[in-house]
Structure 1
Amino acid sequence: MRFEVLILGNSSATPMYDRHPTSQVLNFNEQLFLIDCGEGTQMQLNRYGIKSNKISHIFISHLHGDHYLGLIGLLSSMHLIGRKSDLHLYGPIGLDEILAVQFKYSETMLRYNLIFHETSAERPEVIFENRTLKVSTFPLTHRIPCTGFRFDEGQRARTLLMDEVEKENIPVAYYQVLKKGMDYIADDGRVFKAADFTLPAPLSRSYAYCSDTIRTASYLPYIQQATLLYHESTFLHDMVDRAKETFHTTSLEAAEIAKETAVGKLLLGHYSARYKDLQPLLAEAQSVFQHSMLSQEGKWYTV
């Protein structure tokens, strides 16, 4: 089952060095989710071949412009190209009011239902859940209310031992029964135990997204053992005082957090415009947490 993240933008505050403000697409089993929507997001979607009308849910972490100023344009373009399907938007208090004002004075009546879900920066919440995926928010500590997001895969199916299944001529229609861990009972009464014809299910995967935050212990329980953690790393650690002043994190701190929470891999991003060369941020992070990576625009990262 596909579970991967495409980086559309990884710059902080302003576009710089052909890096764009924050935005990501998460593809979970061909269902597309947009995480933050900085300026230029719809251009990046076009650049990397993502059809915006396939996006079903949009998650906005907070109301600093580099995380949502692309939203008006994207929603308007969806309207202009004839979107009909519902679009769910999750974001902080005030986002719906901002959109209402924009649409009021442009006299825009969307052709589709835009369903707004207000998130809380005070407490963790489950904001979306179906049979295969759960999306949760958790509070971050920034200059304004801000939330992180965690995407948790549901229980995965067991793996069929095809040679054994075919040897016993078990009907294809019952493969899913075995993969769910249930036994198959043949017409003649024979019982074929799932444990004999499958391997245990692979571990469920998870993606945690920490946009803008100062380093605190408060959100660490919510990112524990994530398969892939995206964490802002705005500054090198020699600017830790500036990071604290602006409620951001250094690459060293992001790596320490990744190590402390036992995540699988760390993806760095939200780079300050002062850094043209990002290799020093990567080197700093890898000195603490070896499985650190620089996020690169246009690249998919497997969860």
Structure 2
Amino acid sequence: MKRPIPIMSVPRLTGKRAIVTGASDGVGLALATRLAQAGAELVLPVRNQEKGRSAVDAIRTAAPEAEVTLEALDLASLGSVAELTRRLLADRRPLHLLVNNAGVMAPATRQLTQDGHELQFGTNHLGHFALTAGLLPLLRAGEARVTTVTSSAARFGTFDWNDLQSERSYSPARSYGISKLANLLFALELDRRSAQAGWGITSTAAHPGTTLTNLYSAGPNLGRTRLSPQAAVIGKLKRWGLFVHGVDEGVQPILYAATGSESHGGGFYGPNGIGEFTGRPTELHVYRSARDAAAAAKLWAVSEQLTRMSFESPVTGG
């Protein structure tokens, strides 16, 4: 773990176009608000349009001059991803920032995306993989920075290549860790491939630590008949000041990874506290679980097959 990064002010982003997934609440909304305050034009693709409209109102309250466009996107549907990329490609406007932030965490029972993939792997990884591939021409045109949000759970993730989507054995936490390891490997491999192919894209990864958002209730309550106690426990820890911090703190590593002048391709950022639960943003050492470049390349190939998307010649899947 390296020297902590000072709480940062975002550089001016006037003339920059940014996409943030999962910006209807939580860390995504905080990030989008800070980008808007810095002058970025925002595209917010969300699944729940009502929550999306409330988010746009909140952003415009904080940044009255903000340019914000609400789009429809369900990352659990490759068809929805394809529809969004078609609309944005038709617009032909370069993209300068993409933050792959949206996600689902630890449903109690194994759930599926519309395409039949395990929900966490399909939403957190495959949906963002397909979105980034589909937007590649616009990202290259804008020499974009792509930041993919992972989790400290990635350090415990391990791939069983014969059961990558937990069909034989499902554990909420284990499957979440797999999806977050996939996020981290994707971010690192994207930067390697961009450098090799001359795409001009900078790819970074970040995690917010343990940040109190509805992520801790929405996912764990899927497939349950009684409410999960997880959100209540996290809320108590936050009130006690133990291992949980708020959105304003959790957004800092992601903000730095996405906009920091000294953040760099292949960099990984998160909190500097014990266990990376809380703390000031810092550059982290890449977890041992994510250092295998061969595994990253294999995951890339598997992801292209599952999404029917190629970064060499992006086509619309779905």
**What TM bracket, shorter-length normalisation?**
0.3 to 0.5
Q: TM-score if structure 1 supplies the norm length?
A: 0.38
Q: Which has the higher helix share?
A: 2
Q: Of Structure 1 and Structure 2, which has the larger fraction of its residues in strand?
A: 1
The higher relative CO (CA closer than 8 Å, separation ≥ 6) is in: 2
TM-score when normalising by structure 2? 0.36
Which is higher, the Rg of structure 1 or of structure 2? 1
